[in-house]
Amino acid sequence: MRSQAIFPMATTWAWAFLFLLAPAIAWAADPSLEDKIAPLVKAHRGKATVALQRLGTAEAFYFNADTPMPTASLIKVAVMVAAYREVDAGRARLNDLVSLQEGDKVPGSGILTKHFSPGVTLPLRDAIRLMIAYSDNTATNMVLDHIGIRTVNDTMTSMGFPNTLINAKVFKGSTTSVSPQRTKDFGLGSTTARESINLLEKIDANRAASPSSCKEMIAHLKACESKDLFPRNLPAGTVLAHKTGAVNQVRTSVGILYLKSGPILLCVMTSENQDQRWTKENEGEILCARIAKLAFDHFQKEK
């Protein structure tokens, strides 16, 4: 009789235990964001840092996010912010005309060098848009000539981003560098993954400059033409405000994914990459694309 009484009681306790354990089992079956991203970052053949945060929440993933890294063209976001803050302060105007001279033309990304003649003038606003949407190097130098390299660095420092620095004009490091050692260490500029997403957060929240300026900056970032990093694996129609950067050993990207479940801030930075191919199969570009898709899948399901 006693053994018969114990058996049903044991069964009851077993079911109760499984009921309490169920959330843990479900969590284990659905790996965390860290479980998904960390192996990819650690396997990368080069240095890699990541910062990811869901806006308005404590949900985040960071991997060496405070390590200063080369930016390549990613630093153009800081140039844009500094330019708009100069406009807000009355020291520049968006309709100020900047003029293209033959000596201004530099190689690399963009359209001004290849398609426009010396002497053409365009508003500062358009030069900024070319700098972001097409990552135009010549347009970037024209903006820097108008506002000053040191202005960008002073602006970033005053905003609480001491590692976000531009060192020289694009492709003119030997003659325009404001910090030869940093130019040697980082090339065009430096930042950290955490500072990069925090800067975008300020733009999105209208705290990087005036609300009208921040609205224009988001529009420029949404117009970014690069499709081979964050956008590569995202579903058509995904809204993304982003900026990329690339030199031989570096691939970087920062952006805001506007999902139905809320905006996601993401920065992936790679340097010292073994794969230096200028193809869509570059490992640094693929890493950026994979992490963006993982973030999309992880958060988009929370509709």
Confidence of residue 31 (pLDDT cuts 50, 70, 90): confident
**Which of 25 and 276 is assigned the larger pLDDT?**
276
Rounded distance between C-alpha atoms, residue 221 and residue 214, angstroms: 11
Confidence of residue 17 (pLDDT cuts 50, 70, 90): very low
**Which of 29 and 206 is assigned the larger pLDDT?**
206
Note the pLDDT of residue 300: 87
Residue 26 lies in a domain: no
The pair of structure tokens assigned to 45 is 């053949």
What percentage of the chain exceeds 90 in pLDDT?
86
Kindly write down the DSSP assignment for every residue of 124-163, as one continuous string: HHHHHHHHHHS--HHHHHHHHHHH-HHHHHHHHHHTT-TT
Which of 80, 69, 273 lies closest to 186, judged by CA? Answer: 69
Residue 5 lies in a domain: no
Residue 246 lies in a domain: yes
> Measured at the alpha carbon of residue 60, what is the angle toward residues 55 and 62, in degrees to the nearest 5?
130
Residue 6 lies in a domain: no
Residue 220 lies in a domain: yes
Residue 7 lies in a domain: no
Note the pLDDT of residue 177: 98
Tally the domains of the chain.
1
Q: For residue range 247-278, what is the model confidence (pLDDT) as tens digits?
A: 999 999 999 999 999 999 999 999 999 999 99
Residue 180 lies in a domain: yes
Note the pLDDT of residue 302: 57
Note the pLDDT of residue 214: 98
Rounded distance between C-alpha atoms, residue 277 and residue 297, angstroms: 28
Q: For residue range 39-57, what is the model confidence (pLDDT) as tens digits?
A: 999 999 999 999 999 998 9
Domain CATH for 294: 3.40.710.10
Rounded distance between C-alpha atoms, residue 202 and residue 52, angstroms: 15
Structural domain for 67, as ranges:
34-300
Q: For residue range 208-261, what is the model confidence (pLDDT) as tens digits?
A: 999 999 999 999 999 999 999 999 999 999 999 999 999 999 999 999 999 999
Residue 248 lies in a domain: yes
